[in-house]
Structure 1
Amino acid sequence: MEFYEILKIFNNNVVLAKKDEKEYILIDKGIGFNKRKGELINKDRFEKIFILERDIKDRFDKLILNIDEEIVGVCEEVISMISEEYEELDREIHVKLVDHIAFAIKRLKNNDEIENPFIIEIETLYNKDYEIAKKAAFMIKKRLNIEIPDGEIGFIALHINAAKNKGKVSDTLKNIYICNSVIEILEDELKVEINKQSIDYARFITHIKFAIYRIINKIPIKNELKSAIKRKYKDSYKIAQIIAKFMENELKEKVSDDEIAYMAMHVEKFKNKTLY
């Protein structure tokens, strides 16, 4: 049987505890109810247990000094819920997501508007993360009685995506910016307004998302119809070249002719549609 010493109680279900000089976030129904700092928890199974390694522990301990315990508690329950969907999460989530949600709640209490210009792109490109973020928003509403707007749900989804990929939110945002800019280039060149609820839109920006990944990681892609596409869809190929040039400037990497040919096929689909 394990013995944990309570260091801090966040809510009835979440406590910070210590065992063998290591700190743990323990999550279990009623684990913090009627408990006090310094008490021992005599238990070896929990709904969820997170070890705070030294590189995270110091920053987490400093962060929670200025955040209401209830907010930290619900954030950790949110992280527990996320970990049910993605087993391997970046440990930084205990600092970055808690910090982000706490600041967002502060802004919402001050009636600040949270604007997210990429909400459609986030929902389209990272749909599973967005749906998980909606569950997080429901948990926050239920526990803290604070309504989380769609824009903030989008930002929470970005943190989830970064944590599951062990990457940076800024990198994901840049990819979204590139996808959005590619659509704007396409609209300018074709003199149309693309319906962002359409299947063609979703397919194209999803293609661009994976193209960005291939380009950054120098993963080759083969297009056997490249010559035919160049010859048959000349105008669309030219537009795809403009898009590729923009992507090269943003990514500082070369975009292959094979990638351009695939983009040209998508451009051709939009070009042949007169109603969006």
Structure 2
Amino acid sequence: MVVKKVLNNNVIIADDNGNEVIVTGKGLGFGKKQGETVDESGAEKFFVLQDKKEQEQYKQLLIEVDEAFIGCMNECMTMLEKRFHVKLYEHIHVALTDHLYYAVHRQKQGLEVRNPFLTETELAYPAEFQAARELLLHVEKCTSTPMPEGEVGFVALHIHSALTSRSLEEVNQHTKLVSTLAGVIEDNLGLTMNAKELDHQRLLRHLHQAIERIQYNDDKEEPESLKKVLKDEYPLCYNLSWKLIKIMQHALKKPVPESEAVYLTLHLQRLARQRNE
């Protein structure tokens, strides 16, 4: 690899056999000039941002963000890749660096953004949620700035997006949809969803999984006889399941297989039974 451009003491743009790559490492860019060979032994991380728009966003970030914070974020990325044993979808370098840099600044200014989907996020993505909590502890150590609980949820969504190669916009849309569905369930069954209740956890996770199946046309079959039994035995929960299905269809602009009514009815009936005990 040869140097194309030095962005700061710790980040350079290099040419790797015709591919433009971003290389990071402590002091890697210090005193370097265009055309010189990159000392790969000092490179901590390198990645290719194929999207030209993302390349420009990252370069702009490097102008605004201090080098110490970039170093902290590189450590965070390494922590995540070791934890999940995967190569992260590289958009996270831009999106999460941008998000956390301004989140730290908001905290220093005494501003706090509420996260209304914290519970839904924790239940849907428990591994990502725990990783986000540990990552934020590292950011707090780097910046000497305590981060609010709500940020754990936001960071967990970034991590899930990076692990699944799904856009953050899509992940956010699905989380908001689950929150809407949970509200409808609470209103119709006269209960409050509780993150500590196992059956509540199972239902919310099922909703997330159902939305992903619908999005990617992964249908499940169910016995016709079971559908008829549930419709006759649990009409309240069966009708509620169809109300939820219609909301999903409207939000996702896709048909929802009838089999979903069976699985939702079973989950809803467990909650309704608990309420009546």
Question: Considering the TM-score relative to the shorter chain, is it more than 0.5?
Answer: yes
The alpha carbon displacement at 1:131 in A equals 1.2
The alpha carbon displacement at 1:249 in A equals 1.4
Conserved? CA contact 1:26–1:49, under 8 Å:
yes
> What is aligned with 2:68?
70
Q: CA 1:54/1:235 → structure 2, altered by over 3 Å: closer, same or farther?
A: closer
The alpha carbon displacement at 1:255 in A equals 2.1
Measure the CA separation in 2 of the matches of 1:232 and 1:38.
74
> What is aligned with 1:158?
157
Measure the CA separation in 2 of the matches of 1:26 and 1:73.
8
Aligned length: 268
Match of 1:60 among 38, 58, 73: 58
Conserved? CA contact 1:162–1:172, under 8 Å:
yes
> What is aligned with 2:273?
272
Measure the CA separation in 2 of the matches of 1:157 and 1:140.
14
> What is aligned with 1:37?
31
Q: CA 1:19/1:170 → structure 2, altered by over 3 Å: closer, same or farther?
A: closer
> What is aligned with 2:261?
260
Measure the CA separation in 2 of the matches of 1:184 and 1:222.
27
Conserved? CA contact 1:119–1:154, under 8 Å:
yes
- Equivalent residue letter for 1:49: F
The alpha carbon displacement at 1:95 in A equals 1.3
Measure the CA separation in 2 of the matches of 1:7 and 1:73.
15
Measure the CA separation in 1 of the matches of 2:257 and 2:5.
57
Pairing 1:85-234 to 2, within 5 Å after superposition: 85-224=84-223, 225-234=226-235
Q: CA 1:270/1:53 → structure 2, altered by over 3 Å: closer, same or farther?
A: closer
Measure the CA separation in 2 of the matches of 1:268 and 1:65.
55
Measure the CA separation in 2 of the matches of 1:58 and 1:263.
45
Conserved? CA contact 2:3–2:12, under 8 Å:
no
Conserved? CA contact 1:7–1:17, under 8 Å:
yes
- Equivalent residue letter for 1:257: E
Sequence identity (%) = 25
Measure the CA separation in 2 of the matches of 1:179 and 1:7.
45
> What is aligned with 2:249?
248
Conserved? CA contact 1:67–1:102, under 8 Å:
yes
Provide Cα deviations, 1:142-173, integer angstroms capped at 9, x if missing partner: 11111111111211111111111112222112
- Equivalent residue letter for 1:272: R
Measure the CA separation in 2 of the matches of 1:211 and 1:204.
10
Match of 1:49 among 34, 37, 46: 46
Which segments of 5 or more consecutive residues in structure 2 lack a partner in the other structure? none
Measure the CA separation in 2 of the matches of 1:219 and 1:104.
37
Conserved? CA contact 2:45–2:74, under 8 Å:
no
- Equivalent residue letter for 1:80: T
Q: CA 1:36/1:45 → structure 2, altered by over 3 Å: closer, same or farther?
A: closer
Conserved? CA contact 1:6–1:41, under 8 Å:
no
Pairing 1:74-85 to 2, within 5 Å after superposition: 74-84=72-82, 85=84
Measure the CA separation in 2 of the matches of 1:70 and 1:220.
48
- Equivalent residue letter for 1:189: N
Which segments of 5 or more consecutive residues in structure 1 lack a partner in the other structure? none
Q: TM-score, normalised by structure 2?
A: 0.86
Conserved? CA contact 1:17–1:23, under 8 Å:
yes
Secondary structure of the 1:170 match is helix
Conserved? CA contact 1:93–1:163, under 8 Å:
yes
Measure the CA separation in 2 of the matches of 1:209 and 1:54.
29
Measure the CA separation in 2 of the matches of 1:176 and 1:238.
23
Q: CA 1:199/1:54 → structure 2, altered by over 3 Å: closer, same or farther?
A: closer
Secondary structure of the 2:274 match is coil
Conserved? CA contact 1:86–1:164, under 8 Å:
no
Measure the CA separation in 2 of the matches of 1:145 and 1:259.
47
